[in-house]
Structure 1
Amino acid sequence: MSPLISGLASVASMIFNAASSGAGKASARRGGEAAAPEPSAVVTLSPEAQTLAGMAGQGMLATQTSPSSAVTAAGRSASQASPALPGGRAAGAVSKDDFQALLTRFGATEDQKQQLTAGFDADKDGVITHDEFVKGLARTKGSQAENDPFSQAVLQVMDRAGNADGTVAKDEFAALSSAFALAGRRVHTG
């Protein structure tokens, strides 16, 4: 057999194998419901989301009213205390149960819900305040976040709720922030 024919046979074999494995995957996807996207092992922030995490480090929470709307920032400086409501609860605070329900809506696993609740609730009082939440979000910024289990759990939940491509975009970052802000408002206005 000539080298040219042998080479063509190898290329044809590779194309056939690639087409066969792709067809199997496509038919498997069509046969059942689409599985929820799984997050990457290491999730990073897009440059825009890095900026939002930096704003969190300054006590600002990035929010948006809908996925197509602009991201805005609202919040207090990190040195200001949250105003107290009747009963001693801080405005914008979310109970442990409400926070875990929020995480469930974002597709968090039971382990992630426990890890994130414990990580955000810095004073372990069963309530996640605005300040605790933004400080937790600020931990996701920078290269150290790649090796921080808490930061990775936060980023994986954000990414899973979005497109699960291994990078948290600004809209994915703002979606969790917006949900937290809304949950905090419901507690003291409802």
Structure 2
Amino acid sequence: MHGTILTLLKRYVQTQYDHSTWVKLVELAGLEEGNFSHKEVYPDEHLYALIGRAAEMTGIPAGELHEKFGEYLVPDLMYMYQKYLNPDWRTLDMLEHTENSLHNQVRREHIDNAPPVLQVTRLNANELLIDYVSARRMGGLAVGIVRGVATYYDEADRIDVLPTTSEDGERVQIHVRRN
């Protein structure tokens, strides 16, 4: 897991709760350190442990926390990768081009990083199907990011996001439709 994601998780927890919650979460997750470098890649287990302990602490299911965190990530991700975005894109366009414009770039810039593979099929002008494929099994994060993209483009009230498979699988299908 890229350190940037873990750094943003820290900020998310501190924003939603407080710093002491983050410190306790790191301790409960069995991690030695709660500060992560955006230049490093960490074991995926760090994120699993942190989200798992957060679920225990809050009573919110881990999948739901993944979604909430995914939504939270979007403004920062859009800022970080803005040079790869077409200013004319809207939600469906952005999702359709994420694999080729963003994920490929992340793989080139950070050889140790492995964002999920997204196979996006445009069904028509108002609909697409995303096949999320990752051994990380973080489909909930992907669903949250899709919702966050719709919010970013101020289309959240017009975009329906429907996972059509279990969100904790290695392959997750997400149906996205503009209504």
* TM-score, normalising length: structure 1: 0.29
Structure having the higher strand fraction is 2
Structure having the higher helix fraction is 1
Q: Which has the higher contact order (CA 8 A, sep 6+)?
A: 1
Larger radius of gyration: 1
